[in-house]
Structure 1
């Protein structure tokens, strides 16, 4: 398959690029700074500079792609910081560009508990939202709502990992649960395991139009 990866120079994006290449996929890494992938040498990798906020720029690169994998992220901000709109601001040009390029499959990253719903873990309600990641979670929630309400024509999967770790892959299948969080999870998952799941998702119709929480399998 031919895959476009957004956020390819980030710590999870690099893992996605490497995992896709290992499986023999053709990868187009769309990045702000191509030098960020200079260490990866593979004839199946193209590194292209692109503006993620411009659908006209993105659509040119998405022509002929079977799927878009997005690992885009920003600094989470904290209580009292300016409102974050990064996730809803980027998903709109991405999905518009996909329509122009006639690419329907999207796998993108969010986070567990992005949407505030009844019964969420107390650590999220009492600590994570008010003190650390609340502004980023609001923007992720807006992105998820946009996909759910405005993108019925696209086959999207929103991958929602717990805390990301730079550990090697566990070698085990991840715990994947439809919804906002994994009950009784370990609250930590290796980036490489997330990358493996995202690449697995490309051809898996079971996860079309789903929000999937991920955690490490104990």
Structure 2
């Protein structure tokens, strides 16, 4: 893969950090867009950490200037034990700013993350499906679906990657991909997700599609 100038939103999360690390290992120049640059734990000569909030269009636009592609692992943070995840339009509002800034800066390639459960044909399984999705994740998944619709209306070269439940196990590169989630899609390693996202920067198999990735 040729060296690219990438901007990664949501870089401070666990998936985002894995993506930054692998992008740097692959030789890319990386701009990490985060809300609190002083707290970002990684350092590298090809890493630039900037303050960027997907709710704030000027900061998103500034982070994109001079870049070749955009990756987003933006996700809600847990607040309290059951006060859980408050999307507050994080996906649907944030993607509008990302898409607008991409158009302005002439960037065509977008690779971002939602979830396998954000598929209308997803069949909930076990405790996760019967309790966690309706009680904790329902509003987040609805917001993800809005984001997916916004992206699908754009004329950009996009890929929306949909992992199963994320885990922090080491990278294997032995993941499965498909266009619809199945009962087998239970877990996805963040490290494998990051590797697949980087692959999708240049691959065309899933161009303008929503692949599911799972262990």
Specify which of 40, 61, 66 is matched with residue 68 of structure 2.
66
For the structure 1 residues 215 and 86, does the alpha-carbon distance in structure 2 shift closer, same or farther, using more than 3 Å as the test?
Answer: same
Deviation for aligned residue 1:189: 1.7
- The list of structure 1 runs, each at least 4 consecutive aligned residues, that deviate by more than 6 angstroms after superposition, is 76-83
For the structure 1 residues 196 and 83, does the alpha-carbon distance in structure 2 shift closer, same or farther, using more than 3 Å as the test?
Answer: closer
Deviation for aligned residue 1:132: 2.3
Between 1:55-64 and 1:107-116, the stretch displaced more is: 55-64
For structure 2, which runs of at least 5 residues remain unmatched after alignment? none
Specify which of 162, 165, 168 is matched with residue 163 of structure 1.
165
Look up the SS of the partner of 2:188 in the other structure: strand
| Structure 2: distance between partners of 1:69 and 1:136 | 19
Q: 2:57 — aligned with what? A: 55
Contact 1:108 1:159 in 2 (8 A): yes
Between 1:75-84 and 1:20-29, the stretch displaced more is: 75-84
Q: 1:175 — aligned with what? A: 176
Deviation for aligned residue 1:15: 0.3
| Structure 1: distance between partners of 2:170 and 2:86 | 35
What is the 5 A alignment of 1:1-218? 1-37=4-40, 39-75=41-77, 84-117=88-121, 120-123=123-126, 126-148=130-152, 150-151=153-154, 153-169=155-171, 171-179=172-180, 181-185=181-185, 187-216=186-215
Deviation per residue, 1:110-165 (Å, 9 max, x gap): 01121323x624547643432221111000011111111x21x1111111111111
Q: TM-score under structure 1 normalisation?
A: 0.87
